[in-house]
């Protein structure tokens, strides 16, 4: 309970509260959905643990789930005391507290749950930690999915949970917005200077750490007639000898003309490329949730939170799956490309701005370590790391774990399946981290027996 200044005022407040609670205490229904928050002595709001909590109470006895833990306890008046046990039945915490208005809060001691519920970690359990705790009711969802048109009022260039939400939305909602155009949006404020800028973040009500945020890209169209592109190979794409011998034209015109109606882009004629016309495949270079804890990254970076993934199949129709690290997930997007080859070998795609429409959903209680996606033809796992070989291993491993989880395959079956059906894409070679995609065709996945 929040402490108020001492003296007669506090006594009066307490009296009023007591009067208010007495008739409510029996009616105060503990049953239903809650958001549980556990805050240790060294936690900030960004590192606190959040869980979906479901409780039932009957004749003073309380039962339910706190994340993956089982709850058992007593509700006496406005006093709640519960114990938590893990899935093996081992006691992992005790919490006591009381009703405070619309929420319960108190103190206790808990063994922190592992963040990734799907991980089969062999690490020893952590010691119990003194915590303060809160139970608050989730924000009630309005009846029926809503559609929003969000005109950006600012952009942000740093991936961080500290970036304040631009809009609160619910699972099922649809948002139409646009990503940044440097010319048109020169006057719009930008938060942080991290290179690539994102629109949002969108706070998705109901999303908690350990959940998966589902983002379906409904529409993605360029909204300007030009896309600018670099014309020099990045050092990670060619040999040192090639990079040293290359003679680049500093005046080379890399401003493509984009014709979204006919879905083609054409390069201003140069002597060797008088008619270079390519199909447009408009994609989002950046799409992200807030990174874990207090981590902050520049807009050009990428990681388990997504970010500058630069995958050329993150297009209209693609669905992305993000591990959620903070309440609300904090979805953002930007850095659109009219087209891009594998690896972004010149450091850019056809850099452009887009109109984008997306819908969101939340898968509660399941998350993978990194981002996944589903395109028209493939199930996709991203592997972001400090090297291409490691990215290959992470992408393959996450895809294997996904197949094992969703299709109940054993390790031999996954191996057999991948040995004949796995495909890789090298998505990103030129940014602070590397990004490799492992994928399997949905036509083959459909032949598996769950």
Total residues contacting another protein by CB under 8 A comes to 81
Residue 86 has what DSSP assignment? -
Which of 373, 403 has the CB closer to another protein? 403
Establish if 3 lies at the interface with another protein (CB under 8 A): no
Residue numbers 287-316 binding another protein by CB under 8 A: none
As measured in angstroms, the least distance from the Cβ of 347 to another protein is 9
Establish if 336 lies at the interface with another protein (CB under 8 A): no
Per DSSP (E only), the strands in 146-187 are 147-149, 155-156, 158-159, 167-169, 174-178
Which of 65, 228 has the CB closer to another protein? 228
Q: Please provide residue 324's backbone torsions phi and psi, each rounded to the nearest 5 degrees.
A: -95, 130
Establish if 276 lies at the interface with another protein (CB under 8 A): yes
Best CA proximity match to 352, nearest among 255, 263, 233, 268:
255
As measured in angstroms, the least distance from the Cβ of 310 to another protein is 12
Best CA proximity match to 30, nearest among 68, 69, 70, 59:
59
Q: How far apart are CA 52 and CA 75, in angstroms?
A: 19
The residues near 48 (Cβ < 8 Å, ≥ 6 apart) are 37, 38, 39, 40
- Interface residue with another protein among 55, 371, 379, 422 (CB under 8 A) is 422
Establish if 343 lies at the interface with another protein (CB under 8 A): yes
As measured in angstroms, the least distance from the Cβ of 328 to another protein is 30
Number of Cα atoms under 13 Å in the Cβ half of residue 24:
15
- Interface residue with another protein among 230, 293, 365, 432 (CB under 8 A) is 230
Radius of gyration of the chain (CA): 25
- Interface residue with another protein among 18, 341, 386, 442 (CB under 8 A) is 341
- Interface residue with another protein among 31, 225, 277, 294 (CB under 8 A) is 277
Establish if 148 lies at the interface with another protein (CB under 8 A): no
Which of 21, 388 has the CB closer to another protein? 388
Q: Helix 388-407 crosses helix 411-421 at what angle (to 10 degrees)? A: 120
Residue numbers 99-138 binding another protein by CB under 8 A: 120
Please state the three-class secondary structure of 342-365 as a single string: HHHCCCCCCEECEEEEEEEEEECC
Residue 249, both tokens: 């034209």
x-marked contacts with another protein along 369-398 as a string, rule CB under 8 A: ------------------xxx--xxx-xx-
Residue where the block lists tokens 């005109």: 151
Which of 134, 439 has the CB closer to another protein? 439
Residue 176: alpha-carbon gap to chain centroid: 19
The residues near 36 (Cβ < 8 Å, ≥ 6 apart) are 50, 51, 52, 53, 66, 67, 133, 134, 135
Residue numbers 349-368 binding another protein by CB under 8 A: 349-350
Which of 261, 411 has the CB closer to another protein? 411
Establish if 12 lies at the interface with another protein (CB under 8 A): no
- Interface residue with another protein among 164, 273, 405, 442 (CB under 8 A) is 273
Which span (188-196, 213-221, 288-296, 340-348) binds another protein, by CB under 8 A?
A: 340-348
Omega before 201 within 30 of 0, i.e. cis: yes
Residue where the block lists tokens 């408009």: 282
Establish if 414 lies at the interface with another protein (CB under 8 A): yes
Establish if 259 lies at the interface with another protein (CB under 8 A): no
Which span (2-10, 129-137, 236-244, 315-323) binds another protein, by CB under 8 A?
A: 236-244
Establish if 239 lies at the interface with another protein (CB under 8 A): yes
As measured in angstroms, the least distance from the Cβ of 325 to another protein is 20
How many CB atoms lie under 10 A from the CB of residue 26? 8
- 319 close to 373: Cβ distance less than 8 angstroms: yes
Residue 379, both tokens: 């199930």
As measured in angstroms, the least distance from the Cβ of 398 to another protein is 9
Which of 1, 276 has the CB closer to another protein? 276
- Interface residue with another protein among 177, 348, 352, 370 (CB under 8 A) is 348
Q: How far apart are CA 280 and CA 284, in angstroms?
A: 13
As measured in angstroms, the least distance from the Cβ of 427 to another protein is 9
Residue numbers 167-196 binding another protein by CB under 8 A: none
Q: How far apart are CA 239 and CA 235, in angstroms?
A: 7
Which of 366, 424 has the CB closer to another protein? 424
- Interface residue with another protein among 267, 324, 379, 380 (CB under 8 A) is 267
């Amino acid at each position: 309970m929040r402490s108020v200044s001492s003296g007669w005022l506090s006594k009066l407040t307490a009296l009023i509260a007591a009067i208010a609670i007495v008739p409510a205490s029996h009616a105060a229904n503990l049953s239903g959905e809650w958001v549980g928050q556990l805050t240790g002595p060294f936690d900030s709001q960004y590192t606190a643990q959040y869980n979906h909590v479901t409780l039932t109470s009957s004749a003073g006895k309380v039962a339910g789930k706190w994340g993956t833990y089982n709850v058992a306890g007593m509700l006496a008046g406005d006093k709640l005391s519960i114990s938590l046990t893990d899935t093996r039945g081992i006691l992992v915490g005790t919490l006591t507290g009381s009703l405070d208005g619309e929420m319960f809060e108190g103190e206790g001691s808990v063994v922190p749950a592992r963040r990734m519920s799907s991980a089969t970690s062999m690490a020893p359990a952590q010691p119990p930690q003194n915590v303060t705790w809160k139970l608050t009711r989730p924000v009630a969802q309005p009846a029926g999915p809503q559609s929003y048109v969000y005109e950006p009022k600012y952009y942000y260039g740093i991936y961080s949970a500290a970036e304040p939400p631009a809009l609160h939305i619910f699972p099922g909602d649809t948002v139409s917005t646009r990503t940044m155009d440097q010319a048109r949006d020169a006057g719009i404020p930008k938060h942080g200077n991290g290179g690539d800028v994102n629109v949002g973040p969108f706070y998705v009500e109901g999303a908690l750490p350990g959940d998966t945020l589902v983002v379906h890209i409904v529409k993605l169209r360029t909204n300007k007639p030009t896309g600018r592109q670099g014309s020099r190979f990045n050092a990670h794409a060619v040999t040192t000898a090639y990079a040293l011998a290359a003679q680049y034209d500093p005046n080379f015109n890399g401003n493509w003309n984009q014709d979204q109606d006919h879905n083609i882009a054409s390069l201003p004629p140069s002597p060797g490329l008088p008619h270079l016309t390519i199909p447009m495949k408009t994609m989002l270079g950046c799409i992200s949730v807030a990174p874990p804890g207090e981590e902050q990254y520049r807009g050009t970076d990428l990681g388990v939170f997504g970010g500058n993934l630069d995958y050329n199949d993150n297009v209209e129709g693609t669905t992305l799956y993000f591990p959620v690290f903070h309440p609300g997930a904090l979805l953002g997007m930007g850095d659109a490309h009219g087209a891009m080859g594998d690896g972004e070998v010149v450091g850019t795609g056809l850099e452009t701005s887009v109109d984008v429409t997306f819908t969101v959903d939340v898968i509660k209680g399941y998350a993978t370590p990194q981002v996944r996606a589903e395109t028209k033809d493939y199930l996709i796992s991203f592997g972001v790391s400090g090297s291409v070989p490691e990215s290959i291993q992470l992408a393959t491993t996450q895809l294997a774990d996904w197949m094992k989880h969703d299709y109940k395959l054993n390790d031999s079956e996954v191996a057999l399946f991948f040995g004949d059906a796995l495909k890789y894409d090298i998505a990103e070679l030129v940014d602070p981290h590397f990004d490799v995609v492992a994928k399997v065709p949905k036509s083959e996945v459909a032949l598996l027996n769950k």
